[in-house]
Chain A
Amino acid sequence: MYSVRIGVDTGGTFTDVVLVDERTGQIVTTKTPSTPSNPADGFLAGVAKVLELHGGGVDLASVSALVHGTTVATNQLLEDRPDRSDHLGFITTEGFEFILEIARQSVPDGYGNSYFWVKPPRIVPVHRVRTVPGRLDHTGAQVRPFDEEAAAEAARGLRELGVTAIGVCFLHAYANPAHERLMRDVLAREHPEAVVSLSSDVLREYREYERSVTTLVDAAVKPIMRTYIGNLSERLGRGFSVMKSNGGVLSAAEVVNQPITTVLSGPAAGALGAALIAGTAGHPSVITLDGGGTSTDVAVIVDGEPSQTTEGSIGRYPCKIPMIDIVTVGAGGGSVAWISPEGTLKVGPRSAGADPGPICYGKGGTEVTVTDAHVFLGRVPPHLLGGEIPLDAAAARAGIEGLAAKLGLTPERCATGILEISAFNQSNAIRQITVKRGLDVRDFPMVAFGGSGPLLVCRLLDVLGLKSAIVPPDPGNVSAFGLLTVDVKNDYVRTHVTTDPDPDAIEAVFRDLEAQAAMALDREGFTDHVYVRTADLRYYGQAYEVRVPADGDVEARFHEAHQRLYGYGYRDDPRHAVEWVNLRVSGVGPITRPALARRPEQFEEPTPICTRDVHFDGWARTVIYRRRDLGAGAVVHGPAVIEEYGSTLPVHPGFTATMDDYGNLEVRRELG
């Protein structure tokens, strides 16, 4: 049977499309402009274009899998326009109507900030919050019954306000969803047009503020996701899958019931694609660095698995659903260089974006960006996308010179300084994510991709003391490719707090979670199910848990993990009790991952296409290579620049780039 799979990654500017032909191993990539007013247009155009490029006479209906990465849900939240959540209301337990106003009472950051801090608007203002009598305790036992009449009144009140999306979070609903389900029935009766999210469906985990906000984020994005997915399904006339932030996919039909699981899925696909590419090339554990125009996303992959977190946030809203642990830093090609009032040079986090973009784009940008520094130094060619878009190098130079004069630096020092600061911003993000996981960054190669990811790899190798960096082919398409490497995956959690675990009780909870996972996998048509059990444990009295695989001696695993993460543990000290907090199951429906084709070997020295003046340690005439001219085994010695359609790799003096069997460039410090 013919098997063609397509990944479509809709970004802010471009829609990236990747097709894998499983019969031939052929990979076809393309790009179309995104169409923010109706993203489905760009999606359909991209799919048509890639099928045509493939030329195999395959039509849409016979494509075996269509996987979509979308930021529709995320963008709605990140745009942060108050009118974007006008439709949202909140129902909670009597006595707790101010829970969102109070939040966790914390003022961010510096000491003394409480005097001047202005609280940002809440996700739902208090006048769209309603409360209902009825109370459970932490075991799920009922203290006071649910008040149906008051519930109906609350539902009608929100309906009269024009609320069309409602989050429901009652105290201790993680332990017993009964009252929330009664509330859902009341809402179905009194306000049938409203979409509803229950906290016991979204996140069965304790801590009421975080669970409330997570539930409200889900409710907030539900209407737009339903419209978008519905519209796309109709126009496609077939099913498709959607990327989730936990590193799995789910059918579009299911995902609309829990759209929160898709927010922040964009960077997840990139990390997974990079993991597969690096794993194939013999590097199962890597740091991934996805450099874009406005920001850079960093993740850690250990033995092929990206590390996960439940402490993510969307903008300023905590979202405690499981997601791939990605640190995003405002350091990308468009990051603006500026002088602080104190007179030091800063880079980012503000970005010139795509419009007006860097000065060298010639679209009216007046602020020096990281890209302008690269252009000024000759490290990238004076054009984009293989020549399709020319860049204004003279304007970039003028901008750099202006900034340098204000700082009393030479233009070269100013431009290299901008890049140095940008590299430090990226390396601090990389340190953060590795330190937090108790890992030593020097043990990991880095996979650098995205349009701007490969540009600073030599500096990052130096700053972080890494052994090597891997730059995959078509670095700009790794995210779309990643969509094709992803299993179907659903996560289930139950809070179960105890210092005296009863193995039977724990087994019962796990089995219950697995039964839920099985139902979802059956609906997705999987006969082959994989269940992964994990548990969150802590020393009694701690506020944060450590997540460990729940097989074998779970507590021993916890002691060991705590020792690794924080430098101490109490394996042999029974005074320090271990407390179990959450039990988790991931239900996985595995897919066949695409096989990567090998690159033919090249025995002769690679031939440069030209030379140009490039500044590394000083200005020098430097050789330029075209990436597609290189074969497996080819070695490029710095100083040199390797160019391809969507990206550029500057190889600094003292570094080499070697093409491996799969067409990746591996950058290392030259020995000796």
Chain B
Amino acid sequence: MSLADPILIEIVEGTLASVEMEVETAIARTARSPMIRDAHDFRAGIHDVRLRKLTGRSYSALVQPIVRDFPVETMNPGDVFFHNDVYLSEGGIGHLPDLCVTVPVFHDGQVVAFVQAFGHHDDIGGACPGSMPSGARSVFEEGLMVPPIRLWDRGVPNDAALRIMTRNSRMPDSLAGDLDAECSACLMGARRLGELFDRYGREAVEACFDAILAKTTETFRRELLAKIPEGVHVWEDYAEHDGVDEPRLHAQRITLTVDHAAPEPLVIDFTGTSPQAKGPINHAGDYADGVFLKKWLAPILRNLADTPERMAELDVNEGVVPLIKMVFPEKGTLLTPIFPAPTNARTFVILRLLGVLAGVLAKATGGRMPADQETIRYTGVYGHDAAGNDYLMREVLGGGSGGRWYADGEDTIHVVPDSRNIPVEFAEARWPLRVERLGLAVDSGGPGRYRGGLGYDKHIRLLRDASFMSIADRSILSCWGVNGGRAGRPFVVTVNGVEMDGLVDDFPVREGEIVRVRTTGGGGWGSPFDREPLCVADDVRDGKVSLKAAREDYGVVFSAGLDVDEAATEALRAELRVPQEAFFDRGPGFPKLSGGRPHAEVDLRP
């Protein structure tokens, strides 16, 4: 019997997944920051002593910066390490509110693995409440930077460090509570993992680790990468503003080279990405050979699997790393910023890159990828409640996902798994506001044979004077449609009817006024004139598509009520259908920012 027989592998893999889940459950149940508690913006991960990520459901930060500063032989049972310093994180931490805790796992007196968790806390200081100043010009405005430190030494917390951190936060109690939640959960996970080593021995367990990662490498190579035609494929997408300069196209470009026979079959080259922004949309990605970004982007490859069920089964662990080579441009771009460039809204880059990879793959595969979805945006109000206390209500509302070659996009989903909206009955009990409508934004889904999902249409009436804030991209550009599918509608907020920009730190809202938030609809997939007219009729009945859009965007004509007039529909569709030279539709915002060009050069059909 070999050390890593298929039975022990299954047991080890099941235990790793179970430990990861237990750690995340413990954090979710006790954390205080809404970003962790509701938006689920936190992750646990298990890494082996070679710093390889073993678990596959979540992304997570890296252990590299910890062992760089604290060699494993200097670690002791009961130690807990901490960091949030972006530029000293080897690319694992994107902005300062992500506080990361790392606990070594011991077996026979030696470090054999790590349990790590990071979570997005409410406030770590800096220029504005929530530590995400949209106009920041340097990382020094974004809060307290903590390089890797030993936060607990052999079971004893370093109170001085904790006092410094909580002293620098506007919400010290919730910060302390969140840190306790992360530390306790990781220590529990480390004990559980230690039991696995005790039971089967280090050699057998490590042989299983190797096998688990090798299996992922092989599956991705055989089942996913094989579906991408060999050659060189280029595409780019854009962030639209950086909080400092006037809106413009901040390009993020991928040149994808595919060679199935090469040791690294995928080369992802970011050359052509725009210079670093003055504002906080930069992401420090060019460290440790891009190992973080490789694991971060690889989940997109799962869309190449044969069915959505199969896509969901595929784990992304360190096994994807050997398949991908990353090439970064010179220092000083959006992806290679120079310290102290600000990064708090780096989601505009790091999350957009998921879509850039999806787009380049769509181009390479003739459209066998989902159309675009926007990922994260923050909206909120803050002020004083009736008792005079400060409050900050900030939520991460989802939007529509893009149409797929097998299904419509879904309404109001969120890229972060298990992220939840805030119940209206909770919100109204806690903050001085009333939600007058929680609906779907009609016509926001990009028209297509498979329609994009719809965004929110949320109306919040303030019951006391307050300030509105938002951090959102895709307020000018749309989520793109593909393969004949049209773009979705962009993000838009009005306060008492006045339209806001996507980036707002402090816009006054008076008592009784309404903040109306409409989030992005997903892009459409395939021509809307190929959409089943009965589906369009259902969409009209359900309030997802207006009568006007049914006619203009889908070419569907109704005779009486919602009965489709088939002959008139066919005639109208023949008239509306014109050959499209571009493979992608970015919506009316693109010409605005591109000096009138209808589409980008890279958008043309291959």
The answer for the CA separation of A104 and B456 in the assembled complex, in Å, is 12
- Which A residues are CB-close (under 8 A) to B185? 566-567
Contact: A344 with B215, CB < 8 Å? Answer: yes
Contact: A102 with B7, CB < 8 Å? Answer: no
The answer for the CA separation of A108 and B187 in the assembled complex, in Å, is 26
Minimal Cβ-Cβ distance residue in B for A421:
B10
Contact: B57 with A567, CB < 8 Å? Answer: no
- Which A residues are CB-close (under 8 A) to B456? 102
Given contacts A116-B404, A417-B6, contact A566 B30 (CB under 8 A): yes
0/1 per residue, A560-576, Cβ < 8 Å to B? 00100011100000011
Given contacts A98-B438, A127-B541, A424-B15, contact A171 B425 (CB under 8 A): yes
Partner of A98, one of B300, B310, B440: B440
Contact: A106 with B303, CB < 8 Å? Answer: no
- Which B residues are CB-close (under 8 A) to A209? 423
Partner of B437, one of A95, A115, A125, A568: A95
Contact: B215 with A115, CB < 8 Å? Answer: no
Contact: B437 with A172, CB < 8 Å? Answer: no
Cβ of B370 under 8 Å from chain A:
yes
Contact: B425 with A172, CB < 8 Å? Answer: yes
0/1 per residue, A137-174, Cβ < 8 Å to B? 11000010000000000000000000000000001101
Contact: B434 with A102, CB < 8 Å? Answer: no
Contact: A341 with B299, CB < 8 Å? Answer: no
Contact: B401 with A96, CB < 8 Å? Answer: no
Contact: A568 with B436, CB < 8 Å? Answer: no
Minimum CB–CB distance from B166 to chain A (whole Å) comes to 10
**Interface 9-mer from A391-399, A430-438, A479-487, A634-642:** A430-438
**Interface 9-mer from A186-194, A220-228, A267-275, A537-545:** A537-545
Cβ of A99 under 8 Å from chain B:
yes
Contact: A102 with B425, CB < 8 Å? Answer: no
- Which A residues are CB-close (under 8 A) to B541? 127
- Which A residues are CB-close (under 8 A) to B437? 95-96
The answer for the CA separation of A408 and B177 in the assembled complex, in Å, is 51
Cβ of A236 under 8 Å from chain B:
no
**Interface 9-mer from B94-102, B261-269, B412-420:** B412-420
A interface residue count range (under 10 / 10 to 19 / 20 to 34 / 35 or more)? 35 or more
Partner of A110, one of B174, B184, B299: B299
- Which B residues are CB-close (under 8 A) to A172? 425, 428
Given contacts A127-B542, A343-B215, A346-B10, contact A117 B312 (CB under 8 A): yes
Contact: B302 with A116, CB < 8 Å? Answer: yes
- Which B residues are CB-close (under 8 A) to A567? 184-185, 187-188
Contact: A114 with B14, CB < 8 Å? Answer: no
Contact: B402 with A115, CB < 8 Å? Answer: yes
Minimum CB–CB distance from B449 to chain A (whole Å) comes to 16
- Which A residues are CB-close (under 8 A) to B407? 118
Cβ of A530 under 8 Å from chain B:
no
- Which A residues are CB-close (under 8 A) to B10? 344-346, 421, 424
Given contacts A98-B440, A102-B421, A421-B7, contact A107 B26 (CB under 8 A): no
- Which B residues are CB-close (under 8 A) to A342? 215-216, 218-219
- Which A residues are CB-close (under 8 A) to B552? none
Interface residues of B in 160-208 (CB under 8 A from A): 172-174, 176-177, 180-181, 184-185, 187-188, 192
Cβ of B411 under 8 Å from chain A:
yes
Contact: A118 with B423, CB < 8 Å? Answer: no
Cβ of A112 under 8 Å from chain B:
yes
Cβ of A105 under 8 Å from chain B:
yes
- Which A residues are CB-close (under 8 A) to B13? 344
Contact: B440 with A428, CB < 8 Å? Answer: no
Q: What total of chain B residues lie within 8 Å of the partner, measured CB to CB?
A: 98
Number of A-B contacts (CB under 8 A): 243
Minimal Cβ-Cβ distance residue in B for A110:
B57
The answer for the CA separation of A424 and B410 in the assembled complex, in Å, is 36
Cβ of A113 under 8 Å from chain B:
yes
Minimal Cβ-Cβ distance residue in A for B423:
A207
Contact: B32 with A539, CB < 8 Å? Answer: yes
Cβ of A625 under 8 Å from chain B:
no
Cβ of A109 under 8 Å from chain B:
yes
- Which B residues are CB-close (under 8 A) to A431? 18, 22, 192
Contact: B14 with A206, CB < 8 Å? Answer: no
0/1 per residue, B348-391, Cβ < 8 Å to A? 00000010001000000000001001000000000000000000
- Which B residues are CB-close (under 8 A) to A562? 30
Contact: A111 with B22, CB < 8 Å? Answer: no
Interface residues of A in 75-118 (CB under 8 A from B): 95-99, 101-102, 104-118
The answer for the CA separation of A541 and B37 in the assembled complex, in Å, is 9
Cβ of A523 under 8 Å from chain B:
no
Minimal Cβ-Cβ distance residue in A for B397:
A105
Minimal Cβ-Cβ distance residue in A for B541:
A127
Cβ of B494 under 8 Å from chain A:
no
Minimum CB–CB distance from A222 to chain B (whole Å) comes to 25
Cβ of B59 under 8 Å from chain A:
yes
- Which B residues are CB-close (under 8 A) to A341? 219, 223, 310
The answer for the CA separation of A575 and B32 in the assembled complex, in Å, is 14
- Which A residues are CB-close (under 8 A) to B398? 105, 114
Cβ of B576 under 8 Å from chain A:
no
- Which B residues are CB-close (under 8 A) to A497? 429
Minimal Cβ-Cβ distance residue in A for B195:
A465
Contact: B300 with A107, CB < 8 Å? Answer: no
Contact: A568 with B184, CB < 8 Å? Answer: yes
Interface residues of B in 304-337 (CB under 8 A from A): 308, 310-312, 315-316
Cβ of A420 under 8 Å from chain B:
yes
Partner of A106, one of B311, B370, B414: B414
Contact: A102 with B401, CB < 8 Å? Answer: no
Cβ of B11 under 8 Å from chain A:
yes
Given contacts A112-B302, A342-B218, contact A105 B30 (CB under 8 A): no
Cβ of A407 under 8 Å from chain B:
yes
Minimum CB–CB distance from B55 to chain A (whole Å) comes to 10
Contact: B312 with A566, CB < 8 Å? Answer: no
The listed residue with most B CB atoms (<10 A of its CB), out of A105, A171, A543, is A105
Minimum CB–CB distance from A44 to chain B (whole Å) comes to 43
Contact: B177 with A126, CB < 8 Å? Answer: no
Minimum CB–CB distance from A458 to chain B (whole Å) comes to 16
Contact: A425 with B14, CB < 8 Å? Answer: yes
Contact: A112 with B440, CB < 8 Å? Answer: no
Partner of A343, one of B6, B32, B308: B6
Contact: B439 with A96, CB < 8 Å? Answer: yes
Given contacts A346-B10, A544-B30, contact A112 B542 (CB under 8 A): no
Contact: A95 with B7, CB < 8 Å? Answer: no
0/1 per residue, A371-396, Cβ < 8 Å to B? 00000000000000000000000000
Cβ of B38 under 8 Å from chain A:
yes
0/1 per residue, B423-436, Cβ < 8 Å to A? 11110110000111
Partner of B9, one of A344, A436, A576: A344
The answer for the CA separation of A425 and B13 in the assembled complex, in Å, is 11
The answer for the CA separation of A407 and B185 in the assembled complex, in Å, is 37
The answer for the CA separation of A541 and B302 in the assembled complex, in Å, is 36
Partner of A109, one of B57, B180, B187: B57
Q: A113-B312, A407-B6, A541-B32 are in contact. List 5 more A-B contacts (CB 8 A).
A: A99-B438, A102-B440, A111-B416, A112-B354, A206-B426
Instruction: Give the top 5 A-B pairs by smallest Cβ distance, nearest first.
Output: A112-B299, A541-B32, A417-B7, A95-B437, A567-B184
10 A-B contact pairs sorted by A residue (CB < 8 Å): A105-B414, A105-B420, A106-B413, A110-B315, A111-B417, A112-B302, A115-B354, A115-B401, A138-B428, A541-B32
Q: List B residues at the A interface (Cβ < 8 Å).
A: 1, 5-7, 9-11, 13-15, 18, 21-22, 25-26, 28-33, 37-38, 40, 43, 56-59, 172-174, 176-177, 180-181, 184-185, 187-188, 192, 215-216, 218-219, 223, 299-300, 302-303, 308, 310-312, 315-316, 354, 358, 370, 373, 397-398, 401-402, 404, 406-407, 410-421, 423-426, 428-429, 434-440, 456, 459, 538, 541-543
Q: List A residues at the B interface (Cβ < 8 Å).
A: 95-99, 101-102, 104-119, 125-127, 135, 137-138, 143, 171-172, 174, 206-209, 341-346, 407, 409, 413, 417, 420-421, 424-425, 428, 431-432, 435-436, 497, 539-544, 562, 566-568, 575-576
